[in-house]
Amino acid sequence: MTTKAPTRRNDALLNDLLNDAADDYERETKAPAKPRRSSPRIGFLSPEGIETAFLVLLYLATFLLALLSVLGTFYGLAGQDAPVNALQIVRDIAGDYNRLLIAMLLQTAFTLSQYGARQWARRDPRWWFGYLAALLLSVWFNIQAYADPLVALHVPWLVAWCIIILGDVLPEFIVVRKP
């Protein structure tokens, strides 16, 4: 009885040694794995760089739309059409700084009223009336300034109005972060 127990232990030990030796032999005889190659890189921009460039483009578009809103308010206050010639815009601004200051203050008030009223409307739906009032006032001045020049450029009047309204609403969707 005593001879079987050590024999089993010896057999198990021998099997373990042989199996480990066979595994080591297989590992040593296999060819070393070749380094894995990735696919060729075609682009030169990283995903982070693309995101940054897109954000810069969005903020630039927002700045230009805000500038156009100020110019629309500037010309809308006087009931004038906005000229297509940039030199004429510079002359008009140089000729009436006070109206430019009023246009900037009004557009700032309209913009903050739109952004704030829209945020508060999440808690109390009555603030949508404040949002719409600020939006309509801002759009009113821009329509006075830009509708006729766009129609003169052969843009249908309904499309022109939609472009003007979109140009007034779009910056807040770019700038205001959703909670």
CA distance 146 to 140: 10
25: left (phi over 0), alpha (psi -120 to 50) or beta: alpha
Flag whether 112 is in a domain.
yes
Q: Of 114, 157, 163, which is closest to residue 142 (Cα–Cα)?
A: 163
Flag whether 49 is in a domain.
no
What's the structural domain count of the chain?
Answer: 1
Which domain covers residue 81, as residue numbers?
68-175
pTM above 0.75, yes or no: no
Flag whether 134 is in a domain.
yes
What per-residue confidence (pLDDT) applies to 27? 58
Q: For 79-88, how does the pLDDT look when each residue is reduced to its tens digit (9 = 90+)?
A: 999 998 899 9
Q: Who wins on pLDDT, 36 or 148?
A: 148
Q: For 98-130, how does the pLDDT look when each residue is reduced to its tens digit (9 = 90+)?
A: 999 999 999 999 999 998 898 898 899 999 999
- Roughly how many angstroms between the first and final C-alpha of the chain, as a whole number? 78
Q: For 40-92, how does the pLDDT look when each residue is reduced to its tens digit (9 = 90+)?
A: 667 777 888 889 999 999 999 999 999 999 999 999 999 999 998 899 999 99
